[in-house]
């Protein structure tokens, strides 16, 4: 077996998260709010919506085919208001910002490939269930799912703690526990591992937008007390743990005024914080015929059930597709030496218990519903605050039983 990090007596690993007010996350949330609004009226819609933002400007573009009647401008303004951008000094004002919308219908070539999979175009008599089999993948590519037993939610601890810190940062702002914070912010957590297990928190970084005139000493004191202390387990902190709060000094200029934003630019924040590989496709603004999204969710569902079944301590699942083809091109399983049965046997279990055709994924995970904007900040996986169908471990018992027969 080749050497891997789990064989190392000591190593450091880092993941980051960003708040809902980060410019890229603003765009993700607007794109997914549009998807949800469309799905609320038209669950069969084809949606590929992209958003960009800069100082007091939002641009919405994409390919959307739907019978739904929605107000793109109003959805964007409402989302900005919910996030907390209600003052031009924060980088954008929901009431007065300019919003440009340029939407056209999905390419008829792509639409035809998705609507009628290659298998059907060749021989429809071979397909047993047209509702599932007739849907082709919306694009080529490879998608990755991951799970590990480091946390209750079966996520990497670096990613889990980073998300919890940014969620807490937004909470103390919205509940006015710290009155001077702005919507934009980031966290970063570095953990020291010992033979693949979390040992201690090595470094914590939090950067938060704030009103002018607030001293760095006050920010450090308040963030430590109200954000870090309630989140980071005391047992993971020691005298050598380093904490950096607003290491740049002032962070008054933030949001879209401080940095332009774009949908899909935080793919590692959305997934596993760099612990697992990534297929490259972003999620937000895409309906589930786009396997960038639905197959990544399905791969997480597979990996999580394998770890929940105690077949492996860490599991990465890759699945790949060709545009317009229903059946996956490949499915692979990697357990990094933590499998309690051979990976080949795990792969056989995956093929038996999980149908990874796009139509089957959509049907089995019930993805044609307006559930997406809640995923557009603080991660698409391992969420304990919301219920998501790909986070179920309903196949773990059956997998465990068959694995250890």
Specify the DSSP class assigned to residue 126. G
User: Across the chain, what does the average pLDDT equal?
Assistant: 92
Q: What percent of the chain has pLDDT over 90?
A: 84
Which residue intervals of 123-238 are DSSP H helices? 130-133, 157-174, 216-223, 229-231
Has 391 been annotated as catalytic? no
> Residue 289: CB partners within 8 Å, gap ≥ 6?
46, 114, 135, 137, 138, 358, 362
Can 152 be counted among the known catalytic residues? no
- C-alpha 58: how far from its chain's center? 22
- Among this protein's residues, is 174 annotated catalytic? no
- Per-residue pLDDT of 9-68, as tens digits, reads 899 999 999 999 999 999 999 999 999 999 999 999 999 999 999 999 999 999 999 999
Residue 178, pLDDT above cutoff 50? yes
* Cβ atoms of 332 and 317 closer than 8 Å: yes
Is 303 known to be catalytic? no
Question: How far apart, in whole angstroms, are the C-alpha atoms of residue 19 and residue 169?
Answer: 8
Active-site residue, selected from the candidate residues 186, 210, 226, 304: 186
Beta-carbon contacts of 363 under 8 Å, excluding residues fewer than 6 positions away, are 131, 132
Indicate if 354 belongs to the active site: no
Please tell me the distance from the alpha carbon of residue 393 to that of residue 382, in angstroms, as a whole number.
12
**Residue 266 among the catalytic residues:** yes
Per annotation, catalytic residue among 25, 46, 293, 380: 25
368 is catalytic: no
Q: Which pLDDT does position 128 carry in this prediction?
A: 46
The predicted model gives 252-274 an average pLDDT of 95
- Torsion from C-alpha of 301, 307, 311, 313, nearest 10 degrees: 140
The tens digit of pLDDT for each residue in 358-387 reads 999 999 999 999 999 999 999 999 999 999
What 3-state class would DSSP assign to 156? Answer: coil
The reply to whether 385 belongs to the active site is: no
Token pair recorded at residue 23 = 């410019």
Sign of CA dihedral 210, 211, 216, 218: negative
- Tell me what pLDDT residue 4 has: 63
Q: Which of 257, 286, 293, 395 is catalytic?
A: 286
Question: Using CA atoms, how far apart are residues 284 and 281, in angstroms rounded to an integer?
Answer: 10
């Amino acid at each position: 077996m080749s050497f891997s990090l789990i064989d190392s007596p000591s190593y450091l690993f880092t993941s980051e998260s960003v708040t809902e007010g980060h410019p890229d996350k603003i765009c993700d949330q607007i794109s997914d709010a549009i998807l949800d609004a469309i799905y609320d009226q038209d669950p069969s819609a084809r949606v590929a919506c992209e958003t960009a933002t800069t100082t007091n400007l939002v641009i919405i573009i994409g390919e959307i085919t739907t019978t739904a009647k929605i107000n793109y401008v109003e959805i964007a303004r409402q989302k900005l208001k919910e996030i907390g951008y209600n003052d031009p000094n924060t980088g954008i004002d929901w009431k007065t910002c300019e919003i440009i919308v340029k939407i056209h219908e999905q390419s008829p070539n792509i639409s035809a490939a998705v609507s009628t999979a290659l298998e059907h175009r060749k021989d429809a008599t071979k397909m047993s269930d047209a509702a599932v089999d007739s849907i082709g993948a919306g694009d080529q590519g490879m998608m990755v799912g991951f799970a590990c037993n480091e946390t209750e939610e079966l996520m990497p601890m670096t990613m889990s703690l980073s998300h919890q810190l940014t969620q807490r940062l937004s909470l103390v702002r919205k509940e006015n526990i710290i009155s001077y914070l702005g919507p934009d912010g980031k966290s970063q957590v570095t953990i020291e591992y010992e033979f693949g297990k979390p040992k201690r928190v090595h470094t914590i970084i939090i950067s938060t937008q704030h009103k002018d005139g607030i001293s760095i000493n006050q920010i450090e004191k308040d963030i430590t007390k109200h954000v870090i202390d309630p989140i980071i387990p005391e047992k993971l902190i020691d005298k050598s743990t380093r904490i950096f709060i607003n290491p740049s000094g002032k962070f008054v200029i933030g949001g879209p005024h401080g940095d332009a934003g774009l949908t899909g630019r935080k793919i590692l924040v959305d997934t596993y914080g760099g612990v697992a590989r990534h297929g490259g496709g972003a999620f937000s603004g895409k309906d589930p015929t786009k396997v960038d999204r639905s197959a990544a969710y399905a791969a997480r569902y597979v990996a999580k059930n394998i770890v929940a079944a105690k077949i492996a301590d860490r599991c990465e699942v890759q699945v790949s597709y060709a545009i317009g083809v229903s059946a996956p091109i490949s499915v692979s399983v990697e357990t990094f030496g933590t499998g309690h049965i051979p990976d080949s046997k795990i792969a056989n279990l995956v093929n038996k218990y999980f149908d990874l055709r796009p139509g089957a994924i959509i049907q089995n995970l019930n993805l044609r519903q307006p559930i997406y904007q809640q995923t557009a900040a603080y991660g698409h996986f391992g969420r304990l605050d919301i219920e998501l169908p790909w986070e179920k471990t309903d196949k773990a018992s059956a997998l465990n039983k068959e694995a250890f027969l």
